[in-house]
């Protein structure tokens, strides 16, 4: 029991340090190192600190992360995000809430290239919000739509969070990636249905577009976005066809994105250098937090907190819904205060042993974990996607309006989560059909 209290105290200290604006990686690593020292002494602590960074970064599976980040950076800098939004606006602009619908569809397309929620929100905030406001859209709908649609980047492959979860949970990266496709499309469909229903009932929220695009203009708008299906099906088709591994598919994605930029006339050495520098920074931040999380996980293993909680939660085996609800509450609370990577890496040492003890499907669990992390990107007081949109727009839109705008989308998430928890097949059917 003493170890349990030490472990819980460690969690408390981590949350306190994060609240004091310590970097998440520093907070996790520092508390983990001190905890290991108190548990087993100085020399073992030094040995763990020496070996952990190499053992983690030497994992071949992790090389997919910087490659997918590089692919997304090249695509973003080549201007493809703007072409995607333009095409979606021309095709869907005359629907009820057409510009907001187009923003969601374009966000899904860009998410399939970038793998990042915040990158998707930042790109769409600059492209879509000014156009919606010029068209007379309600400010809360316009900004809330962009912040919420950005969360599709956490689900639709290639998702960085999905890859990290697969590595920590020791499940197939390919299977984890494909499991996010239908939940991502479900999220998109529910968001779009809500926007169209609200806009139909209250046309002042989203005035209709007057100009009608001809069929020729619609098909012409698709010409600049031809790299999207090429890259998407090249990467995922390679994985699910058994031609390449997830890491090789990431390298293929980088080559395809560079090839697309070259043919579209957007290739330059400045683009390559900028994308590499951005990727180095993003990779370093992710790996630093992950290494801190591993040190913290080893501390928790020494306290026995994971085993103790798994044994305690095993009583929920007959009440699976209660177990899921308890985990849901944990993720919702953590998501209010921590960034997505911090939520995942702090919670997994506790959640994984518990769900393994009741023989839960870890692929389905991964989808649920990532969905709750998405919700955390929208909930106050942190709500990182909300702050990303605010930062991209400057002082034009009050922060409170963006938070009020995402409220309708959070209501949609209640429906989506009920479906994903009640029908695990939504997450598993594609991976099982493809034999992954």
Select from 355, 392, 348, 391 the least CA-distant residue to 370. 348
| Annotated domain spans of the chain | 1-58+285-303, 59-267+304-433
Whole-angstrom Cα distance, residue 19 to residue 164?
24
| Residue 358 buriedness (CB in 10 A; 0-12 / 13-18 / 19+) | middle
Question: Tell me, what's the pLDDT at 211?
Answer: 64
Whole-angstrom Cα distance, residue 359 to residue 356?
5
On whether the pTM is more than 0.85, the answer is no
Question: Tell me, what's the pLDDT at 145?
Answer: 92
Q: Where are the alpha helices (DSSP H) in 223-361?
A: 227-240, 246-263, 269-303, 305-313, 320-335, 340-357
Q: Note if the bond before 158 is cis, omega within 30 degrees.
A: yes
Q: Is 208 helix (H, G, I), strand (E, B) or coil?
A: coil
Q: Is 115 helix (H, G, I), strand (E, B) or coil?
A: coil
Question: Tell me, what's the pLDDT at 116?
Answer: 73
| Residue 275 buriedness (CB in 10 A; 0-12 / 13-18 / 19+) | buried
List Cβ neighbours of 400 (8 Å cut-off, separation of 6 or more). none
CA 284 to chain centre: 18
Whole-angstrom Cα distance, residue 111 to residue 150?
8
Tokens 């839109």 sit on residue: 397
SS3 content of the chain, % helix, strand, coil (to 5): 85, 0, 15
Question: Tell me, what's the pLDDT at 310?
Answer: 61
Question: Tell me, what's the pLDDT at 404?
Answer: 92
Helix axes 80-92, 215-222, angle to 10 degrees: 160
Tokens 């919670």 sit on residue: 347
Q: Each residue's pLDDT tens digit in the chain (436 positions)? A: 566 778 788 888 887 887 787 887 888 889 999 999 988 888 989 998 888 888 777 777 778 888 888 887 887 787 776 778 788 888 887 788 888 998 898 888 877 777 677 778 877 887 788 888 888 889 999 999 999 988 887 888 888 889 889 988 889 888 998 899 999 999 999 999 999 999 989 988 888 665 677 788 888 888 888 777 888 788 878 877 778 877 888 888 889 888 888 877 777 888 889 989 988 888 888 788 888 878 887 887 788 776 666 666 656 666 777 778 888 887 877 777 677 777 787 788 778 887 887 788 999 999 999 998 888 888 876 677 888 888 778 767 788 888 999 999 999 999 999 999 999 999 999 888 766 5
Select from 215, 247, 253 the least CA-distant residue to 232. 253
Longest dimension (CA), the chain: 73
Q: Is 119 helix (H, G, I), strand (E, B) or coil?
A: helix
Inter-residue contact 48 to 337 (CB < 8 Å): no
Question: Tell me, what's the pLDDT at 430?
Answer: 87
Question: Tell me, what's the pLDDT at 180?
Answer: 92
Whole-angstrom Cα distance, residue 144 to residue 138?
10
Whole-angstrom Cα distance, residue 429 to residue 84?
29
CA 8 to chain centre: 27
Return the DSSP state at 158: S
- Side-chain-side CA neighbours of 306 within 13 Å: the count stands at 18
Q: Is 214 helix (H, G, I), strand (E, B) or coil?
A: coil
Long-range contacts of residues 16-24, Cβ cutoff 8 Å, at least 24 apart: 18/337, 18/338, 18/342, 19/337, 23/288, 23/289, 24/289, 24/292, 24/338, 24/339, 24/341, 24/342
């Amino acid at each position: 029991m003493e170890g349990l209290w030490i472990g819980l105290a460690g969690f408390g200290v981590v949350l306190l340090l994060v609240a004091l604006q310590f970097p998440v990686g520093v907070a996790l690593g520092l508390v983990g190192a001190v905890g290991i020292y108190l548990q087993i002494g100085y020399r073992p602590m030094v040995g763990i600190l020496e070996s952990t960074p190499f053992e983690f970064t030497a994992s071949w599976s992790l090389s997919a992360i910087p490659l997918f980040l590089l692919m997304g950076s090249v695509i973003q800098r080549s201007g493809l995000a703007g072409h995607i939004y333009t095409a979606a606006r021309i095709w869907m602009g005359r629907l009820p809430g057409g510009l907001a619908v187009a923003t969601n569809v374009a966000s899904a397309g860009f998410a399939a290239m970038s793998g990042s929620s915040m990158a998707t929100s930042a790109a769409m905030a600059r492209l879509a919000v000014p156009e919606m406001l010029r068209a007379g859209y309600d400010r809360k709908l316009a900004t809330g739509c962009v912040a919420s649609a950005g969360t599709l980047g956490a689900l639709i492959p290639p998702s960085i969070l999905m890859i990290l979860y697969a590595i920590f949970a020791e499940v197939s990266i390919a299977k984890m990636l494909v499991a996010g496709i239908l939940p991502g499309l479900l999220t998109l469909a529910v968001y779009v249905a809500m926007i169209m229903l609200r806009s139909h009932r209250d046309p002042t929220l989203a005035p209709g577009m007057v100009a009608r695009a001809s069929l020729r203009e619609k098909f012409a708008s698709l010409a600049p976005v031809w790299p999207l299906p090429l890259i998407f099906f090249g990467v995922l088709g390679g994985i699910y066809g058994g031609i390449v591994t997830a890491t090789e598919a990431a390298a293929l994605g980088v080559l395809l994105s560079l090839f697309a930029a070259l043919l579209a006339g957007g290739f330059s050495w400045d683009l390559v250098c900028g994308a590499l520098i951005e990727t180095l920074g993003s990779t370093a931040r992710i790996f630093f937090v992950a290494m801190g999380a591993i040190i913290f996980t080893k501390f928790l293993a020494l306290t026995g907190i994971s085993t103790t909680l798994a044994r305690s939660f095993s009583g929920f085996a007959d009440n699976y819904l209660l177990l899921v609800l308890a985990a849901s509450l944990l993720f919702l609370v953590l998501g209010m205060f921590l960034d997505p990577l911090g939520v995942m890496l702090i919670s997994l040492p506790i959640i994984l042993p518990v769900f393994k003890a009741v023989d839960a499907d870890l692929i389905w669990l991964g989808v649920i974990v990532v969905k709750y992390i998405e919700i955390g990107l929208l909930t106050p007081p942190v709500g990182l996607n909300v702050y990303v949109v605010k930062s991209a727009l400057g002082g034009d839109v009050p922060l409170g309006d963006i938070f009020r705008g995402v409220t309708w989308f959070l209501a949609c998430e209640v429906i989506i989560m009920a479906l994903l928890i009640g029908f695990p097949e939504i997450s598993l059917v594609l991976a099982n059909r493809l034999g992954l």
